[in-house]
Amino acid sequence: MATLRLGDVAPNFQAETTQGPIDFYEWAGDSWVVFFSHPKDYTPVCTTELGAASRIYDEFTKRNAKIIALSVDSLESHKGWVPDINETQNTVVNYPIIADSDRKIADLYDMIHPNASDSFTVRSVFIIGPDHKVKLTITYPASTGRNFAEILRVLDSLQLTANYSVATPANWEHGQDVIITAAVKDEDADVKFPKGYTKIKPYLRVTPQPNL
């Protein structure tokens, strides 16, 4: 399958997970989804990542987002590894991990990059909207653990910009000022953004975050 691009519909699939069998679309419901792969069970970086995601599980829930992980290991392997994650990362893994021994889902989502490995998934991240469309993709090398605070930050930006005519500037974090998109004319901006805005340049107008 070709690489999934932003705006593409994320493929549906059925899978066995550590929380039982799922149909991806049914499991996702009307939530946002953070779907991430890890190269292999019982590896050190992956252990820290799955623990980190678990510790901020409630932050995803607050944002109407579900998290789900995948590797090409078996369900038995996942279930044996989870206690190690819980023990070493001082957490309880409370989201499903997909077993994908036949690599069908990994291939569907282009999670295996031959330049890195012919058999293991790279550290892919997909944020998928309630409309099942891909809103973000990030691919990390196997040697670099993910920054889950950044994934939360991007999720905040995606949810904000989906509902308001704004974009988020460099290094933006929830609660900070945002940028009014170029498609909004000044006379319309006065109505759309009652908190007001600052025109730094004709193309650069800054306003307080509108949903606060």
Examine the domain organization and report whether 171 and 124 are in the same domain. Answer: no
Range of the domain at 136: 14-146
Buried b (16+ CB within 10 A) or exposed e, 44-77: ebbbebbbbbbbbbebbeebebbbbbbbbbebeb
**pLDDT confidence bin for 142, thresholds 50/70/90:** confident
pTM for this predicted structure? 0.92
Same domain for 36 and 94, yes or no, is yes
Cβ atoms < 10 Å from Cβ of 112: 19
Residues 50 and 125 in one domain: yes
Per-residue pLDDT reduced to its tens digit, 68-108: 999 999 999 999 999 999 999 999 999 999 999 999 999 89
Chain position carrying tokens 């498609």: 183
Q: So what's the pLDDT on residue 177?
A: 98
In this structure, are 46 and 105 located in the same domain?
yes
The residue annotated as part of the active site, out of 4, 28, 46, 180, is 46
Does residue 197 share a domain with residue 111?
no
Whether 199 is catalytic: no
- Judge whether 3 lies within some domain: no
